[in-house]
Amino acid sequence: MPAWVNLPNLLTILRMAMVPVVVYFIVEGRYLLAGWLFGAAAFTDILDGLAARGMGVNTQVGAYLDPIADKCLLSGVYLALAWAHLVPWWLVAIIFGRDIYILAAVGVFMLWTPVRQFPPSIWGKVSTFVQICTAILWIAHTIFGTRVLGEISSAMLWPCVAFTVWSAVDYTWKGIRTYRKY
């Protein structure tokens, strides 16, 4: 069996496989199922990291797949939520804009420097966590429709935007410092 086949990577692959199902349920208006599956998929993000560290099986494949799985899950969920008119499109544009910006920067680095490892920053992880919490709150508000959940989910838009933008700024600063070394 290849070295990359391990529990953490299988959890990451499971998260990627859950994306189209979660998106489908959101678009079809089956928010309770979507919420449970999204929560389970998001939980695999925690589990794969814990398992990788606990089992000592950090692999290059996992280092590449984990952020891809996160981006697929969050991008898919936010696109579906906007498509269903549950979150504003401008939020999706900010989240996608950050991800496209980071991908473009990585592409430039790979073309012009020998840098090949792009470790996640603490602000990138916080941004992912806040994006997950925001999506869960919007799905919960859609399911339960309470005024309190509506106010909380609306208020969460701003920390979500702030951490998303701040993580892009943080990656930019790290990128500039790294580029100056070469």
Burial status of residue 112 (CB atoms within 10 A of its CB: 0-12, 13-18, 19 or more): exposed
For the chain, give percent helix, strand, coil, nearest 5.
85, 0, 15
pLDDT in tens, 80-117: 999 999 999 999 999 999 999 998 988 888 888 888 87
The SS3 of residue 26 is: helix
List pLDDT tens digits, range 23-57: 999 999 999 999 999 999 999 988 988 887 888 77
C-alpha–C-alpha distance, residues 34 and 147, integer Å: 21
Per the listing, tokens 């891809």 go with: 68
**Domains of the chain by range and CATH?**
7-180 (1.20.120.1760)
CB 163 within 8 A of CB 130: yes
DSSP annotation of 145 reads: -
CA angle 54, 60, 62 (to 5 degrees): 55
Record the tokens describing residue 142, joined without a space.
Answer: 């859609």
